[in-house]
């Protein structure tokens, strides 16, 4: 398993997370109301909790974007002719699948609430 390590310079935190399969995430696809007291309880500071979720959300966004770009690269057509536009059914299905995934912030919040994110304060 590959570990990711991103340091948060604003408040000296390190966030490490194992790669997860976002396609199987049980995060909601719509925004739901969160109990701020539960979020604050894990770190003792609501702003720290928000920064952790924000950094994790950025990690997820980068991973999903790279994966989508790799899949869509197979369909790349490098011609200069604007008149020839090919509509590939498989390419459309891949794009729709990624559009239906939960938002990156919702996945990050779900992982944070389920204690799937490892946080270490750098001193």
Instruction: Answer yes or no: is pLDDT of 111 > 70.
Output: yes
Does 87 or 105 have the greater pLDDT score? Answer: 105
Distance CA 72, CA 57 (A): 22
- Please enumerate in sequence order all residues whose Cβ is within 8 A of that of 4, keeping only pairs 6 or more positions apart, or say none: 16, 17, 19, 59
Neighbours of 9 (CB within 10 A): 7
Range(s) of the domain holding residue 94: 3-121
Comparing 10-14, 46-50, 81-85, 95-99, the range with the smallest average pLDDT is 10-14
Neighbours of 36 (CB within 10 A): 11
Distance CA 74, CA 29 (A): 28
Q: Note the pLDDT tens digit of each residue in 24-41.
A: 677 777 778 888 888 889
Structural domain count of the chain? 1
Q: Contact at 8 Å (CB) between 116 and 25? A: no
Q: Note the pLDDT tens digit of each residue in 36-94.
A: 888 889 888 899 999 999 999 999 999 989 988 888 888 776 665 555 556 678 888 88
Task: Give the H or E element holding residue 3.
Answer: strand 3-8
CA 79, 84, 90, 94 torsion-angle sign:
positive
Per-residue pLDDT, 20: 54
């Amino acid at each position: 398993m590959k570990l990711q390590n991103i340091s948060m310079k604003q408040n000296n935190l390190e966030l490490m997370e194992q790669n997860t399969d976002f396609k199987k995430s049980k995060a909601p696809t719509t925004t739901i109301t969160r109990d701020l007291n539960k979020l604050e309880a894990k770190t003792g500071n609501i702003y720290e909790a928000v920064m952790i979720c924000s950094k994790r959300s950025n990690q997820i966004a980068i991973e999903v974007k790279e994966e989508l770009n790799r899949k869509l690269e197979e369909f790349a057509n490098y011609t200069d002719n604007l008149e020839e536009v090919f509509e590939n059914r498989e390419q459309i299905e891949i794009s729709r699948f990624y559009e239906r995934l939960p938002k990156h912030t919702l996945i990050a919040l779900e992982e944070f609430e389920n204690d799937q994110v490892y946080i270490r304060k750098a001193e």
